[in-house]
C-alpha cells in the first residue's frame, strides 16, 4: 500500500488541550452511496453552518474520486464554461455549544484507495488523540414518514450501543467507505460506532431533515456533545418539511392509501413482536407485504425537489447520489 499520508495535506494542528481528560470524538459523515434523505450531508452542513470550526486537513480528491463514475456538475453560460463543482473531502475541528472540540470528516465518499484512505483517517485520528469514532448514514427503509425516524446502531463494542435494538444476526450488504473506515478504525484499536437512520424509501432521494435530526440526537446522546441549539434549528426545518409532505399526501387519495398501508404494515410488525416504539420495528417484511414506493416517490420527490431549488428552504443535496437502494 502506498503511503497514506500522501493522500492529505495538513492545514492546521488539532487543539492540544484535552477536554475532561479525554481526546476528541471523530465524526465521519460521508455523502454518496449511503446518504438516503441527504442525512449525512445535512448533518455536516448544519454543524459547520451553526458551530465554530476550522479546517485541519484536506484530502486529495483527484486521487480518490472517479470523475467518470460520478461526474461533477459544470456551469455552462451559453458560450463558455464558468465553473466546476468539484468534490471535497475535509477534516474539520468543530466546537460544540459548550466549547468542546470534536473532529468532523465530511465530503464525498472516495471511490478509490479505500484501505489507504482508512489508514490516512487513522493517522489523522491519532494525530488529534481521538478517543472514539462515530459514523453517520441514511439508509432507505420500508417506513412511513408519519412515524419517528428509527436507527440501526453498530459498534466495535456492544457496550457502546447498549439498550439499542439489534436488527440482524448476519447480513451481507454492499460496502461503502464510511462502513469500511468504521471497520478499519476498530481493527486499528480505536473504539468505533455508527448510526444508520431509516429514511422512508419513497423519500430517499430527496432532502429529508427529520432523518438528520435523528442522527444528531443519537450523536449527542452517545458522545455527550452539546448540540441542543443546532438540533432545535434543524428540527424546526424538519417540521416544515413533514407538513409539506403531508400536504402532498392529502392531495391524492391514491397516495393517502399507499401511506396508510405502509403505516399499517409498520405498526402491525411491531405489535406482532410485542414491541413498543418505532425503533424496534423489524425490517423483515415479505416483499408482497411492502407497499410499492414508486408512485409515492414520483409524486413527493417532484414537490420536495422544488423545495431544494429554493435556497431559502435550506441546503441542497449536492452532487452525490441518494442513499443505497433508493
- A 10 A CB-CB count for 303 gives 14
Q: State how far the alpha carbon of 83 is from the alpha carbons of 26, 73, 76, 80, 310, in Å.
A: 32, 9, 8, 9, 20
Residues 6+ positions from 179 with CB-CB distance below 8 Å: 34, 135, 137, 173, 194
Average pLDDT, the chain: 83
Residues 108-121: tens digit of each pLDDT:
999 999 999 999 99
26-30, 239-243, 256-260: lowest mean pLDDT where? 256-260
49 pLDDT exceeds 70? yes
293 pLDDT exceeds 50? no
**CB-based burial, 10-39: b 16+ in 10 Å, e otherwise:** eeeebbeeeeeeebbbbbbbbbbbbbbbbb
**How far apart are alpha carbons 216 and 210 in whole angstroms?**
10
What integer is the mean pLDDT of 288-316? Answer: 45
Residues 6+ positions from 245 with CB-CB distance below 8 Å: 145, 203, 300, 303, 304
The pLDDT of residue 270 is 58
Percent of the chain topping pLDDT 70: 80
**How far apart are alpha carbons 166 and 168 in whole angstroms?**
6
The pLDDT confidence band at residue 304, using thresholds 50, 70 and 90, is very low
Residues 176-230: tens digit of each pLDDT:
999 999 999 999 999 999 999 999 988 888 899 999 999 999 999 999 999 998 8
The pLDDT confidence band at residue 309, using thresholds 50, 70 and 90, is low
**How far apart are alpha carbons 128 and 126 in whole angstroms?**
5
The pLDDT confidence band at residue 283, using thresholds 50, 70 and 90, is very low
Domains of the chain: 4-15+22-313 (3.40.50.10900)
Please give, one letter per residue, the 3-state secondary structure of the chain. Answer: CCCHHHHEEECCCCCCCCECCECCEEEEEEECCCEHHHHHHHHHHHHHHHCCEEEEEEECHHHHCCCCCCCCCEEECCCCEEEECCCCEEEEEEECCCCCEEEEEEEECCCCCHHHHHHHHHHHHHHHCCCEEEEEEEEEECCCCCCCCCEEEEECCHHHHCCCCCCCCCCCCCCCHHHHHHHHHHHCCCCEEEEEEEEEHHHCCCCCHHHHHHHHHHHHHHHCCCCHHHHHHHHHHHHHHHHHHHHHHHCCHHHHHHHHHHHHHHHHHHHHCCCCCHHHCCCCCCHHHCCCCHHHHHHHHHHHHHHHCCHHHCCCCCCCCCCCCC
Amino acid at each position: 500500500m502506498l503511503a497514506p499520508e500522501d493522500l492529505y495535506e495538513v492545514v492546521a494542528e488539532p487543539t492540544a488541550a484535552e477536554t475532561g481528560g479525554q481526546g476528541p470524538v471523530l465524526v465521519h459523515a460521508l455523502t454518496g452511496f449511503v446518504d438516503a434523505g441527504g442525512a449525512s450531508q445535512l448533518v455536516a452542513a448544519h454543524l459547520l453552518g451553526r458551530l465554530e470550526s476550522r479546517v485541519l486537513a484536506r484530502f486529495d480528491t483527484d486521487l480518490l474520486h472517479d470523475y467518470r463514475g460520478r461526474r461533477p456538475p459544470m456551469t455552462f453560460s451559453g458560450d463558455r464554461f464558468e465553473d466546476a463543482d468539484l468534490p471535497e473531502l475535509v477534516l474539520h475541528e468543530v466546537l460544540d455549544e459548550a466549547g468542546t472540540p470534536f473532529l468532523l470528516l465530511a465530503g464525498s465518499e472516495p471511490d478509490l484507495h479505500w484501505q489507504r484512505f482508512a489508514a490516512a483517517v487513522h493517522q489523522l485520528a491519532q494525530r488529534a488523540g481521538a478517543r472514539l469514532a462515530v459514523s453517520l448514514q441514511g439508509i432507505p427503509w420500508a417506513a412511513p414518514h408519519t412515524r419517528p425516524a428509527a436507527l440501526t446502531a453498530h459498534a466495535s463494542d456492544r457496550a457502546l450501543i447498549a439498550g439499542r435494538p439489534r436488527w440482524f444476526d448476519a447480513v451481507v450488504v454492499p460496502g461503502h467507505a464510511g462502513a469500511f473506515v468504521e471497520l478499519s478504525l476498530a481493527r486499528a484499536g480505536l473504539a468505533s460506532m455508527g448510526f444508520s437512520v431509516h429514511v422512508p424509501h419513497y423519500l430517499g432521494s430527496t432532502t429529508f431533515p427529520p432523518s438528520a435530526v435523528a442522527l444528531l440526537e443519537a450523536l449527542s446522546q452517545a458522545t455527550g456533545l452539546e448540540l441542543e441549539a443546532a438540533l432545535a434549528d434543524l428540527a424546526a426545518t424538519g417540521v416544515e418539511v413533514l407538513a409539506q409532505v403531508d400536504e402532498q399526501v392529502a392531495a391524492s387519495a391514491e397516495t393517502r392509501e399507499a401511506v396508510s398501508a405502509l403505516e399499517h404494515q409498520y405498526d402491525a410488525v411491531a405489535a406482532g413482536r410485542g414491541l413498543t416504539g418505532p425503533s424496534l420495528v423489524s425490517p423483515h417484511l415479505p416483499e408482497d407485504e411492502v407497499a410499492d414506493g414508486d408512485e409515492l416517490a414520483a409524486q413527493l420527490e417532484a414537490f420536495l425537489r422544488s423545495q431544494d431549488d429554493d435556497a431559502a428552504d435550506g441546503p441542497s443535496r449536492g452532487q452525490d447520489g441518494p442513499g443505497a437502494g433508493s
